[in-house]
Every structure is written in structure tokens, then in C-alpha cells.
Amino acid sequence: MTTKVLLDTDIGSDIDDAVCLAYLLAHPDCDLLGITTVTGEGTRRAMLASALCRVANRDVPIYIGAETPLLIDQRQPNAPQADALGNWPHERDFPRGLAVEFMRRTIRGNPGEIVLLTIGPLTNVALLFATDPDIPDLLKGLVTMGGSFWSGVNGAMEWNIILDPHAAAMVYRARPPYHRSIGLDVTTQVTMAADEVRQHFQTGLLRPVLDFAEVWFTERERITFHDPLAAAVIFDEGICDFETGRVTIELDDRSALGKTHWSPGDADGHHEVATSVNIGRFFSHYFAITGK
């Protein structure tokens, strides 16, 4: 039985968004209804998504979403991996200014059936929930790659949240049927060195991802599978363990703007936070789906 998914992504910055999209396009049980981009250079981000959809021979709607945060300055203006698009055919024109309406219309047309997967800053989703407050109730669920919840990550603040903390606060106040967060506490355990990536990413949808990754590898020596892990738990819940509690976003202390505060077991808790990951199970699952 397929699961309907909407993907909101800042593909083109960290390579893991492309690694995630390849997985969703390859998964036989994923009915990917649409892709919306978020943060700067939305057209270049959409072109990257389009290139992967072309390789997958999939006609997935792609919309350019918000390119700036709600209240703070933009910290992610560019999509550098789009420099590697030369070898991969892709669309160049995409609807602009319609991403939130597309999400709203699609969710209302499939009530209780869609998992909204967010793997970038939460600007689009905050605007969606503000535009139509009934939308959270109409989701099947919300899965977010975001946050840092346990002391073991040295108190790190997570990039997707701090890029638009006010949007994140709006989203975490909503109450969809479930809201699962996969944070740095578990995602940072799932990594692969560049040489191993080059070995594994040689076929199918992973071949263009490798081209995009070479841009990433000019400054880094490995991939961390943040976003693919968030996607994988939609289809294999045994990959991560979760605990229920309450998540809030720091907005008052400017030195910690966007920090995620986690209260496990809170009586009013309606968030599920990943607490552990089975690394071997994730990689076996990921490469079984993507074909390597």
C-alpha cells in the first residue's frame, strides 16, 4: 500500500536533500505528490529536483516556495550543487508564488492521507499552517528533519531550525495527528566517507546525486544522511526509536535563537523525537530501495 508524500526541501545546499529525493523517487511504496523548494535560489533548487525526476521518469509537480525567512536575514542564499546540472536534462521554468497554495490544495484533496516531509527550513510550512489553520488536522502526519534534543550533540543548534526559527515555532505549535522529529542526535550517527559514496553511488538515481555530491566534496569529506533518515522512517518505523514529549523553539534569547527545547514525557506533549537509530538497518534499507 502506497503512502502519499509531499516533500518540502532546500535541495542544493547540503547534499543529503538529493540523497533523500533519490530514495523517495525509487521507493515503490512512495506516491510523491509534489515537491516545494525553500530558501534562496529557488529556481536552481527546482532544477536539481527536476533533474532527478527526469532520471526517474517521473512527472512530479515542482513549485518554488519562499526564498527568505519570515523575520530574520537570509543565511542560505545559494544552491551551489546546481553548478553540476550540465550533464543532466531538467526543466527550467517552475511556478513561482504558488507553492503554499499547491500544498494546501493537495492536502485538502487528500484528507488524512498525506505525510508532509520537511527537510529544510520551515518557512513554507509555517505559511501553509497560517493560511489555512485546518491543514495540520488534515494531514496523515508531519515528519521533520530538524532540531537537536539531547546533550550528546554538545548543545548544537540545528541548521533547518535556526534558518527560520519563527517559522519553526509556528509549525511546532500546530497539532497534526503526529509530528515526528529526526534531529542531529541520531542523524549525525549515519555517515559515509566520500570514497565509499563514490563506490555506492554508481547506478540509477544515485549517479546524478554523485555528480551533485562532488560539489559538496570540494569542502567536506563525507555525507551525513540527515534527510534520507527522516524519509526512511516513514516507510520503516523500526529504523529509529521515538519518545513522546514537547518541543518548543527558543525565540527570546537572541544568542540561542532557534534552539530546540525538549521536554520528554510532558503531559501536554504531542511531539515524537527520535532517540536512537539502527545504522545497519538504515543503510540496508536505503540501498535496497535505491538499487545498490
Ranking 34-43, 105-114, 156-165 by mean pLDDT, the lowest is 156-165
pLDDT at 219 over 90: yes
pLDDT of residue 155: 58
| Domain-wise residue ranges, the chain | 3-290
- CA distances to 32, 101, 114, 144 from 160, in Å: 22, 22, 22, 9
pLDDT of residue 151: 57
pLDDT at 242 over 80: yes
pLDDT digits (tens, 9 = 90+) for 255-279: 999 999 999 998 888 999 999 999 9
Burial of residue 41, with CB atoms counted within 10 A of its CB: 0-12 exposed, 13-18 middle, 19 or more buried: buried
pLDDT digits (tens, 9 = 90+) for 141-172: 999 999 999 755 555 789 999 999 999 999 99
292: confidence class by pLDDT, cuts 50, 70, 90:
low
Our CA angle for 77, 83, 87, nearest 5°, is: 150
Question: Residue 116: phi, psi to the nearest 5?
Answer: -90, 115
Cα dihedral across residues 34, 38, 43, 44: positive or negative? negative
pLDDT of residue 153: 57
User: How many whole angstroms separate alpha carbon 292 and alpha carbon 288?
Assistant: 6
SS3 256: helix
Q: What is the DSSP letter of 96?
A: B
Against a cut of 0.95, is the pTM above it?
yes
Burial of residue 94, with CB atoms counted within 10 A of its CB: 0-12 exposed, 13-18 middle, 19 or more buried: buried
Residue pair 119/8 in contact (Cβ under 8 Å)? The answer is: yes
3-state helix, strand, coil in the chain (%, to 5): 45, 20, 35
Our CA angle for 59, 34, 228, nearest 5°, is: 105
Alpha helices in the chain (DSSP H): 16-26, 42-55, 99-109, 123-131, 135-138, 159-163, 165-173, 184-187, 194-200, 206-217, 226-235, 279-290
pLDDT of residue 113: 98
Share of the chain above pLDDT 70, in %: 98
Q: What is the DSSP letter of 225?
A: -
Please give the class, per CATH, of domain 3-290. alpha beta
SS3 145: strand
**Nearest alpha-carbon partner for 65 in 3, 139, 7, 5:** 7
SS3 10: coil
Residue 103 neighbours by CB distance under 10 Å: 27
